[in-house]
């Protein structure tokens, strides 16, 4: 787990390029899938927040999966869904406290961010670097308040 | 890792892994109705039959259900030989006689060129092929609410005593994974009915949207140590909350840095 997926809402312009890139990268049979990342304006007029799976350490989705379709990839640290095993009971969709496990109604699939197997396409296409996949560095300055 | 030959192509596979998983990984279209990765294979539908041979078998070959056959070194597999196709056509023919009204079976049989059954059609037949996916998934998830009951001609899938099953939580996994969509359920507003049992859907406290039943949520929070509050809000409202709190943190950071 060398790199981390970093979201910096301050730089986000809400252009939704990440959504488009995600839909293309996770297309099913040549048809665009539902995006795993959601830029929402968060109720603050000047800030857009791309919401994507936070790959929790103690993940509610893994706990809720009764057939063990969700497992952590030890290389990327991402929680990955095995679509073959998934029985579509929607337990993970209901359990995720961040709302980041989704149901793709068009293809009838449960989807969640898997960091594209260690090379997130959304971060590559983000024009303002609001999304980055980079080695983790602790904050230099402590922020007061 | 061992080398096996599938349709003339040498591929690597894990020893002991079932043949069907290797075949599916190569995107070779072998039909199977009773197969689901979440549960142990059963070999009930017989459609995943393949021809296997080895070089030292002196030209002999045998037919096995690939979902139940573990990979051996130097195996030569044919997934669509004439004889295999003939076996599949016979099975489709029998399926069509027993379940003439199932669109899924009609479609599959049509792909193999069986348009009409050569046997006598069972008039009062239903669409259940007794593959056991529903009961196996129910057992794997830990509910054990339904099972195959009866034997021979009268065998069906049913809850105990044909009454609303007390262990069912209405997760719908049996119905959604049924290969012939036989299991009936109704999902209307805040009410879900399956196996003659009524369930109350857990409505989002903010927008009223429903995802799972109250009983399923209670089961998960009880057995899987997940706080029940997590289930009370739907995924869209959860996302909004996440963006709100992340936005607030980002705004503070922005203020602190400027």
Query: Which residue ranges make up each domain of chain A?
Result: 3-129
For position A141, what pLDDT does the model report?
Answer: 64
Query: Which pLDDT band, with edges at 50, 70 and 90, does A1 fall under?
Result: low
Q: Which chain A residues contact residue B230 at CB under 8 A? A: 60, 94-97
Task: Give A144's pLDDT tier (boundaries 50, 70, 90).
Answer: low
Number of structural domains found in chain B: 2
- To 5 degrees, how large is the angle CA A75–CA A76–CA A78? 125
**Do residues B12 and B79 both lie within one domain?**
yes
Cβ–Cβ < 8 Å for B28, B79: yes
d(CA B160, CA B167) in angstroms, rounded, equals: 10
Mutate to test the interface with B, among A38, A50, A95, A110 (most CBs of B within 10 A): A95
CA angle A39, A43, A46 (to 5 degrees): 75
CB contact under 8 A, A42 and B202: no
Which residues in chain A have their CB less than 8 angstroms from residue B216's CB? 89, 91
Q: A42-51, A114-123, B3-12, B33-42: which range is least confident on average?
A: A42-51
Q: What is the pLDDT of residue A139?
A: 65
> Could you tell me which residues come within 8 angstroms of residue B25 by beta carbon, excluding any fewer than 6 positions away?
none
CB atoms < 10 A from the CB of B223, how many? 12
Give chain B positions within 8 Å (CB) of A86. 38
Task: Say whether pLDDT at B153 is over 70.
Answer: yes
CA–CA separation, B211 and A105 (whole Å): 13
B172-184 pLDDT, tens digit each: 999 999 999 999 9
The range of the structural domain enclosing residue B215 comes to 133-238
Whether residue B94 is contained in a domain is answered as: yes
Q: Tell me, what CATH number does B19's domain have?
A: 3.10.20.740
For residue B128, being part of any structural domain is answered with no
Residue A145 has pLDDT above 80, yes or no: no
A71 in Cβ contact with A61 (< 8 Å)? no
Helical residues (DSSP H) of B99-160, grouped into ranges = 103-111, 133-141
Q: Which pLDDT score is estimated for B175?
A: 92
What are the φ and ψ backbone dihedral angles of B163, each rounded to 5 degrees?
Answer: -105, 165
Mutate to test the interface with B, among A89, A108, A109, A111 (most CBs of B within 10 A): A89
Domain made up of A3-129: CATH architecture: 2-Layer Sandwich (3.30)
- Mutation for testing the B interface, residue in A58, A62, A94, A140 having most B CBs under 10 Å: A94
Mean pLDDT of B36-44: 90
B13/B74 same-domain check: yes
Tell me if chain B has a CB within 8 Å of the CB of A90: yes
B103 and B9 in a common domain = yes
Q: Is B217 found in the same domain as B151?
A: yes
Last residue of a domain, one of B111, B143, B162: B111
What ipTM was reported for this prediction? 0.86
In a domain, B223, yes or no: yes
Hey, how many other C-beta atoms are within 10 angstroms of the C-beta on A53? 23
The DSSP output letter for A30 is T
pLDDT digits (tens, 9 = 90+) for A20-38: 999 999 888 888 888 888 8
Q: Which residue has the higher pLDDT, A91 or A144?
A: A91
User: Do both B36 and B105 map to the same domain?
Assistant: yes
* pLDDT at residue B248 in the model: 86
Establish if B118 belongs to a structural domain: no
Residue B79: the pLDDT is: 92
Give pLDDT tens digits for B85-107.
Answer: 999 999 999 999 988 888 899 99
Question: Burial level of A30, CB count in 10 A (0-12/13-18/19+)?
Answer: exposed
CB-based contact B247 A69, cutoff 8 Å? no
pLDDT, mean over chain B? 90
The verdict on B147 and B107 lying in the same domain is: no
At B20, is the pLDDT very low, low, confident or very high (cuts 50, 70, 90)?
very high
Q: Tell me whether residue B53 is exposed, middle or buried, using C-beta atoms within 10 angstroms of its C-beta: 0 to 12, 13 to 18, 19 or more.
A: middle
- Residue B254: is its pLDDT beyond 60? yes
| Confidence bin at B139 (pLDDT 50/70/90) | very high
> Is A42 a residue whose pLDDT tops 80?
no
Q: Is the pLDDT of residue A116 over 60?
A: yes
Question: Domain check: are B61 and B141 in the same one?
Answer: no
Say how far apart CA B74 and CA B54 lie, in whole Å.
7
Q: Is the Cβ of B246 closer than 8 Å to some Cβ of chain A?
A: yes
Residue B1 has pLDDT above 80, yes or no: yes
- Per-residue pLDDT at A65 exceeds 80: yes
For residue A67, pLDDT beyond 60: yes
Query: What pLDDT, on a 0 to 100 scale, did the predictor assign at position A41?
Result: 77
Q: Which residues of B touch A8 (CB under 8 A)?
A: 250
Residue B11 and residue B26 in contact, taking contact as beta carbons nearer than 8 Å: yes
Question: Is the residue at B26 inside a domain?
Answer: yes
Give the residue on A whose Cα is nearest the Cα of B221.
A64
Same domain, B89 and B159: no
* B52-87 pLDDT per residue, tens: 999 998 989 999 999 999 999 889 999 999 999 999
Q: What is the mean pLDDT of residues B113-121?
A: 87
Taking an 8 Å cut-off on Cβ atoms, the answer to whether B231 and A95 are in contact is: yes
Q: How many angstroms separate the CA atoms of A10 and B253, rounded? A: 9
**CB-CB: which of B216, B236, B252 is closest to A145?**
B252
Give the pLDDT score at A143: 58
| Chain A interface includes B207 (CB < 8 A) | no
What is the distance between the alpha carbons of residues A110 and A81, in angstroms, rounded to a whole number?
8
Residues of chain B with Cβ-Cβ distance to A89 below 8 Å are 141, 171-173, 176, 212, 216
pLDDT at residue B83, as a whole number: 92
Predicted local distance difference test score (pLDDT) of residue B178: 92
Task: Provide the token pair at B51.
Answer: 């021809």
Average pLDDT estimate for B161-165: 89
- Contact B124/A at CB under 8 A: no
């Amino acid at each position: 787990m060398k790199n981390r997926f970093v979201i910096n809402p301050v730089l986000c312009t809400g252009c939704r390029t990440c959504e488009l890139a995600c839909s293309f990268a996770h297309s099913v049979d040549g048809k665009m899938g539902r995006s795993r990342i959601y830029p929402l304006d968060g109720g603050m007029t000047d800030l857009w927040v791309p919401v994507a799976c936070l790959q929790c350490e103690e993940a509610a989705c893994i706990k809720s999966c009764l057939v063990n379709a969700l497992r952590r990839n030890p290389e990327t640290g991402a929680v990955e869904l095995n679509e073959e095993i998934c029985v579509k009971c929607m337990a993970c969709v209901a359990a995720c406290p961040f709302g980041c496990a989704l149901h793709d109604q068009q293809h009838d699939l449960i989807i969640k961010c898997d960091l594209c197997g260690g090379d997130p396409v959304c971060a590559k296409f983000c024009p303002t670097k609001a999304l980055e996949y980079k080695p983790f560095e602790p904050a230099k300055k402590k922020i007061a308040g | 890792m061992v080398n096996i030959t599938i349709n003339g192509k040498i591929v690597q596979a894990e020893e002991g892994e079932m043949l069907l998983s290797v075949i599916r990984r190569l995107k070779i279209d072998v039909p199977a109705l009773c197969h689901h990765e979440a549960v142990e294979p059963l070999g009930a539908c017989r459609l995943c039959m393949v021809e296997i041979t080895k070089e030292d078998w002196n030209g002999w070959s045998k037919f096995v259900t690939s979902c139940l056959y573990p990979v051996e070194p130097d195996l030569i597999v044919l997934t669509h030989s004439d004889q295999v196709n003939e076996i599949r056509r016979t099975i489709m023919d029998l399926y069509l006689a027993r379940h003439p009204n199932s669109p899924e079976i009609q479609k599959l049989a049509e792909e193999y060129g069986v348009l009409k059954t050569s046997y006598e059609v069972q008039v009062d037949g239903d669409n259940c092929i007794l593959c056991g996916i529903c009961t196996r998934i129910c057992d794997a998830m830990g509910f054990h609410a339904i099972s195959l009951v009866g034997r021979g001609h009268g065998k069906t899938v049913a809850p105990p005593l044909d009454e609303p099953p007390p262990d069912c939580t209405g997760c719908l996994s049996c119905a959604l994974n049924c290969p012939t969509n036989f299991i009936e359920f109704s999902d209307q507003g805040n009410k879900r009915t399956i196996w003659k049992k009524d369930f109350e859907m857990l409505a989002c406290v903010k927008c009223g949207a429903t995802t799972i039943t109250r009983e399923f949520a209670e089961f998960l929070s009880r057995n899987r140590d997940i706080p029940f509050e997590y289930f009370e809000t739907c995924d869209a409202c959860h996302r909004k909350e996440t963006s709100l709190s992340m936005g607030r943190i980002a705004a503070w950071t922005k203020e602190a840095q400027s």
